[in-house]
Amino acid sequence: MHEAWINKKVEEEKITEYRYDEFKKKKKIGNGAHSSVFSTIVNKENTVEVFALKVIENNAEISKEIVNEIVEGLREKPIQGVNQGYMTIYEKCWQSNPNDRPSISIVSLMLKDIIYPLFQDIPIDGINEDESNFEERTKEYIKIIDTIFGEIPEIKFNDQDSKITFINDLYSNLYEMLNKGESVPKTIKNYIAENGKSANDVLIWLYLKNEPKYICLRGIFYMWKIGMKKKENNADVFSLFLEAAKGNDTIAKYFVGRCYEVGWNTRMNTKYAIEWYDKAIEDECLAAEYILGNCYYRCQEYSKAFKLLRNAVDKGNIMAMYKLGLC
């Protein structure tokens, strides 16, 4: 079946087929445990094309060994000088757990994020002589890329610092609204819309960052599918929150508690939920005080509930007001 599919794609000219005897002047340039790499040329219609040809030893035992090594984590080493963005995509797509791999739409967004900076400072058609219309001419040039990657949002130039500022402000706004008892997804969506930003653009930026608060935000985006297509699978949000919480992110500590309390991507465990809520409360997280107070209320431990809820109300958590009245 695979051979028939390949033959069909060759006939449709979607795959270019070369016979091995077409490769001329093969020169060995490297080798691994089970393969060798050659530089070689192919003569095509009065032109010479240069290729790197990887030849894998045709041995059943070796093939089995390669598969086992890949399963155990063997990966190719990055080539010096390769754009780090491409390496990030490569490494994420090679994750052993399929659920940890990015979807094709996320990969597309990551590629877009790499491409934009490549054109920010490139002189195009004598642009060095007249920089007055640099942005417009660059936009026209990038339309060519659009045919490959699909619709491209409005291009922003030299905005890395402003993007960092915006996302840091988004995080601060979320923390403030969370502590007041406001809706998390509504807060994020409104803030992005009010600032004229793209949720997809924010998500891809978060995907490339490893700081705890950005990992936490990514988990929140995944949890409520903000900036994601509905067809995409849910990511392991619990692992993201836990990683960020271990990096001392307060919001993440709160959400780890929530995951344990209600069973988001992990087994329900009230003991662990309370432990993580306590850690968030140590960071003065009012949302955690309200939720933990609510937990104690349900368990009929009214004195503990009253203390937590009263403190949350005094500091402005609107959700705690109703529950406090019941204590």
* pLDDT of 144 over the 70 cut: no
Least confident of 2-6, 187-191, 308-312: 2-6
Residue 167's pLDDT band, with cuts at 50, 70 and 90, is very high
User: Is there a contact between 83 and 117 (Cβ–Cβ < 8 Å)?
Assistant: no
pLDDT (0 to 100) of residue 120: 40
Which of residues 322 and 290 earns the better pLDDT score? 290
Residues 106 and 65 in one domain: no
pLDDT (0 to 100) of residue 110: 67
CATH of the domain at 276: 1.25.40.10
What average pLDDT does the segment 171-199 reach? Answer: 92
Residues 258 and 201 in one domain: yes
pLDDT (0 to 100) of residue 219: 93
Please indicate, yes or no, if residue 78 is contained in any of the structural domains: no
Please indicate, yes or no, if residue 2 is contained in any of the structural domains: no
* pLDDT of 5 over the 80 cut: no
* pLDDT of 75 over the 90 cut: no
Which of residues 189 and 30 earns the better pLDDT score? 189
Residues 197 and 243 in one domain: yes
What average pLDDT does the segment 281-296 reach? Answer: 90
Percentage of residues in the chain having pLDDT higher than 70: 72
| Strand-pair category, 47-56 with 35-44 | antiparallel
Render the burial of 155-192: b for 16+ CB within 10 Å, e for the rest. Answer: eeeeeeeeeeebbeebbebbbebbbbbbebeebbeebb
Q: Say if pTM beats, i.e. exceeds, 0.85.
A: no
pLDDT (0 to 100) of residue 108: 67
Please indicate, yes or no, if residue 137 is contained in any of the structural domains: yes
| Alpha carbon distances (Å) from 58 to 63, 75, 180, 228, 290 | 8, 20, 64, 43, 64
pLDDT (0 to 100) of residue 93: 81
Residues 118 and 54 in one domain: no
Indicate the residue type of 203.
L
Residues 182 and 280 in one domain: yes
pLDDT (0 to 100) of residue 218: 93
Residues 99 and 182 in one domain: no
pLDDT (0 to 100) of residue 176: 94
pLDDT (0 to 100) of residue 149: 42
Mean residue pLDDT of the chain comes to 76
Least confident of 47-56, 64-73, 246-255, 256-265: 64-73
Residues 110 and 144 in one domain: yes
Last residue of a domain, one of 269, 284, 299: 284
Least confident of 78-82, 185-189, 190-194, 271-275: 78-82
pLDDT (0 to 100) of residue 2: 57
Model confidence over 115-136: pLDDT tens digits?
A: 554 434 333 333 333 444 444 5
Question: What phi, psi does 123 have (nearest 5°)?
Answer: -70, 130
Please indicate, yes or no, if residue 265 is contained in any of the structural domains: yes
Please indicate, yes or no, if residue 158 is contained in any of the structural domains: no
Please indicate, yes or no, if residue 223 is contained in any of the structural domains: yes
Residues 197 and 269 in one domain: yes
Please indicate, yes or no, if residue 29 is contained in any of the structural domains: yes
* pLDDT of 140 over the 80 cut: no
How far, in Å, CA of 49 to CA of 53, rounded? 12
Model confidence over 206-241: pLDDT tens digits?
A: 888 889 999 999 999 998 989 886 555 556 899 999
Please indicate, yes or no, if residue 210 is contained in any of the structural domains: yes
Q: Distance between alpha carbon 233 and the CA centroid of its chain, in Å?
A: 13
Model confidence over 44-66: pLDDT tens digits?
A: 777 778 878 877 776 666 666 76
Range of the domain at 120: 84-149
How many domains would you assign to the chain?
Answer: 3
How far, in Å, CA of 68 to CA of 163, rounded? 43
Residues 50 and 108 in one domain: no
* pLDDT of 267 over the 60 cut: yes
Residues 194 and 275 in one domain: yes
